[in-house]
Structure 1
Amino acid sequence: MSDSHDLAVDRLPPGFNRLAGSNLAAQSAEQIALAAMPMVAVLTLHADASTASWLQVTLTLPFVLFAIPVGMLADRWPKRALMAGAEAVRALALFAVAGLLMAGRLNLAALGVLGFVAVCGTVVFSVAAPALVPSLVPAAMLARANGRIELARTIAFACGPAIGGALVGWTGSMAAFALAAALSAMAAALLAGVAAPESVARHAAHPLRDIAEGARFVFHHPLLRPVFITQFVFTMAFFMVIAIFVPYAAHRLNLSAQAIGLTLGMYGAGMVIGALLAARILARWRFGHVVATGPVCGLAGGVLLAATLWQPWPALAQAGFFLLGCGPILWVVSTTTLRQTVTPPTLLARVSAVNVMSYGARPIGAAMAAWLAAHAGAGACLLMAVAGFALQLLCILQSPAVRLVRQPRADDTSAGLEPA
């Protein structure tokens, strides 16, 4: 009797489940496409490590350029409509890549432009989805709902690179992009069934005032500010690795396209394990300890990847990517829940956008990798990434966020802080 009662209490609303399904389709589309693009650039269009890194810069620029404007729009307009429109645009861009491949007309410039357009869809989804979740589930279920969202995302991270690598290696690149485009179209269709109460449109005096209000809230908040800084540094270090890993794996580790996809897929496998354990860990561990787990695992994973410079064993790279997925997914679930509980609903999309702006570290990390790869080789990129992972751990250990005993309430941001 009690088990069935608990199941009923813990059941998430149908509208949220459709959002989670849409998230799975959208994230799968993103991961398949993002895995296929550098493989096509390196294996088909013969890009070197520096060129592949500049492609990564192009694929990450939308987070810098559009996250804040999208956050402002998502606090004013229906979030579901914004997300569905963005997924439709991404589907069209990916279908265009597949068409150019079929016609034999794809080049690096076209791949970069269409990839840039496709990633714009990712930016909209990344900003709007976390701001939509609190309108679909009660506050007491936010951690569980965020865990479900991240589980869907982690499945995509686990399967997407492996599927992308397999399709590129076995059937050609066109099939990978066609599948990714179809998944984006499916994500847009699933969003049509998400019924969520939308906030009344606000009439702000000026868009810049809207943007400044969200940024001011984050950078003056004692818990959110160090979380942003830590995430920025982690993302920069991680994308130094991502930018050079495909050519590094192909030339240094002698991996095939399928093996590269499998290795990158270990990142997603770690995320799946972390997401499956997230609710149990959050229930048993101190909230601050869960927050710190991601940065700790980030440093450990970076060290394992750098170790392949001396021992070029694929297993070391796979273990490194696994840790980079497993620990940081606990970071995402815990810090997303933290952000949702301490932020007023009218600010949530803009605050979410500021968080997504930390992805602006992606082009910075990729550009640093491009420069280092050209002047000092891929090995220097891995060593610099280790330094970045060490720095992000120091950042979070200096913050009050790691001293939180429990999830804080919206009306008391210092509740649950362990004495210093």
Structure 2
Amino acid sequence: MTGEPRRGGVSGRAFRLFWLGETTSLFGNGIAVVALPLVAVLTLHADTLVVGLLTSVAYLPWLLLGLPAGAWVDRLPRRPVMLACNAVSFVAFASVPAAAWAGVLTVPHLLLAAFAGGCANVFFTTAQRAYLPTLLSDEELLAGNARLQGSESTAEVTGPGLAGVLVQAFGAVAGLLANALSFVVSWLCLRAIRTAEPPPPAVARRRLRAEVGDGLRFLFRDPVLRTLALFSAVSNTALTGMSSIEVAFLVRTVGTGEAVVGAVLTLCGLGGILGVLISPRVSRRLGTARAALLCQVAAAPFTLLFPLTGPGAGLAFFVVGGVGAGAGVVAASILTDTFRQRYCPPELIGRISASAAVISFGAIAVGGLLGGALGSTAGVRETLWMMSGLQVLSTAILLCSPIRRMRDFPESPRAISADAAEKVMS
């Protein structure tokens, strides 16, 4: 094998470059999460339904492309796929400030940019999850995922604040330009990695539908993977139903300014950093499965604080709710992502990850649409009550599953034989 060896783990050059590129892109996304709805609200004067649609169309590609994307990624080298996705994302998001400065930006253009970026994200995320084990060993995956999740949580802390500053100083579309440039940095970092990627497994090519079916069967016949997928679907519907309208809620219902919105969401992001810090500690003390269960169950009630938010000191309800919910969700996500990467056979990991992501991210598309629609009809605060109640109820899926009786998630060698994989799927 040529190229840079994998040894060095999370301290090696290859992972550092990968981490740097991902961190920069995540910071761009953290800015865009606030900048995109602010462009709709402030520049285009869109209603709550359109704001919810922005989240929905960004994740709709998971429902349309997620399953075949898993099969395609398992057939192809993963790094070139990620490089192409970064290029597409740059063009999609750079087109928004270009159109705004030319005076031709419209709501359909904004929705199309979010959709195109979502399509690229489907392939990038699927390829990234399959590519990370190329850079790290099984023993290093938890530390690597924790660092990546730490970057995402830090981006969630600083991104909204940066977005608020950029919007006030240069206009709402400036945040999307920053997001577009972050994909350039990610592309350059990926391009500089010299670690040789092993070729896709030499398996007989079959029809795409049959290969997609392998991933789905593995996912739904495994009780732990099936439980996690079902919980993610319900939980993401609820969480996205809330997050898709949070900017509109804070600006229009509570009456906060752009800078205050950025500050509030920045403080909420501290929960993600807390989750990164507590994840390895609670998993060592309680076990990986028990820790993930406890974190999700403890996090859910914090979402009930969101609809209690009011102006002034009442914003503390939103901040406390965001910190508590974020800490539990992030800590559990690190543990469950690491479990999947260790547990899934390497020749199926792209398809299994994509199958789980279709359910999880497809629910985000539904949640965004549901949040926007209910916010426009039933009221924004009332929608927050409904979605937070759904999040609390979703924990029953975990409490009634086999995970409740486990201390640790099951582990198996990643390089299982083809015969063993066939038995699992038969």
CA contact (8 A) 1:12 1:137 kept: no
Tell me which amino acid in the other structure corresponds to 1:361.
Answer: A
More divergent stretch after superposition (52-61 vs 352-361): 52-61
Deviations 1:152-183 (A, max 9, x none): 22222222222122211222123212211111
Structure 1 segment 85-164 matched on structure 2, within 5 A: 85-164=84-163
Asked if 1:47 is matched to 2:46, the reply is: yes
Mapped to 2, the partners of 1:123 and 1:312 lie a distance apart of 40
Q: Per-residue deviation at 1:318? A: 1.3
Structure 1's 168 and 23: CA in aligned 2 closer, same or farther, altered over 3 A?
Answer: same
Match for residue 245 of structure 2? 244
CA contact (8 A) 1:295 1:389 kept: no
Aligned residues, how many?
406
* SS class of match (1:82): helix
Mapped to 2, the partners of 1:125 and 1:324 lie a distance apart of 27
Structure 1's 69 and 268: CA in aligned 2 closer, same or farther, altered over 3 A?
Answer: farther
Match for residue 420 of structure 2? none
Asked if 1:180 is matched to 2:179, the reply is: yes
Tell me which amino acid in the other structure corresponds to 1:86.
Answer: C
Match for residue 288 of structure 1? 289
Match for residue 34 of structure 2? 35
Mapped to 2, the partners of 1:57 and 1:45 lie a distance apart of 18
Q: Per-residue deviation at 1:355? A: 2.0
CA contact (8 A) 1:287 1:402 kept: no
Deviations 1:16-47 (A, max 9, x none): 22222221122222222232110111112111
RMSD of aligned Cα (Å): 2.2
Give the TM-score taking structure 2 as reference length.
0.90
Match for residue 3 of structure 2? none
Match for residue 374 of structure 2? 372
Percent identity over the alignment is: 26
CA contact (8 A) 2:52 2:244 kept: yes
Match for residue 22 of structure 1? 21
Mapped to 2, the partners of 1:403 and 1:252 lie a distance apart of 43
Mapped to 1, the partners of 2:311 and 2:226 lie a distance apart of 37
CA contact (8 A) 2:39 2:173 kept: no
Q: Per-residue deviation at 1:197? A: 2.4
Q: Which runs of 5+ in 1 are unaligned?
A: 1-7, 414-420
Deviations 1:26-82 (A, max 9, x none): 222222223211011111211122222223222221222222222111111011111
Tell me which amino acid in the other structure corresponds to 1:404.
Answer: M
Match for residue 197 of structure 1? 197
Match for residue 63 of structure 1? 62
Tell me which amino acid in the other structure corresponds to 1:410.
Answer: S
Mapped to 1, the partners of 2:142 and 2:165 lie a distance apart of 34
Q: Which runs of 5+ in 2 are unaligned?
A: 1-6, 417-426
Give the TM-score taking structure 1 as reference length.
0.91
More divergent stretch after superposition (390-399 vs 23-32): 23-32
Mapped to 1, the partners of 2:267 and 2:311 lie a distance apart of 21
Deviations 1:186-225 (A, max 9, x none): 1011111232422335442110111111011111101110
Tell me which amino acid in the other structure corresponds to 1:25.
Answer: T
CA contact (8 A) 1:341 1:408 kept: no
Tell me which amino acid in the other structure corresponds to 1:198.
Answer: P
Structure 1 segment 379-418 matched on structure 2, within 5 A: 379-410=381-412
Match for residue 423 of structure 2? none
Match for residue 422 of structure 2? none
Match for residue 418 of structure 1? none
Tell me which amino acid in the other structure corresponds to 2:86.
Answer: E
Structure 1's 33 and 9: CA in aligned 2 closer, same or farther, altered over 3 A?
Answer: closer
Mapped to 1, the partners of 2:72 and 2:10 lie a distance apart of 31
More divergent stretch after superposition (295-304 vs 332-341): 295-304
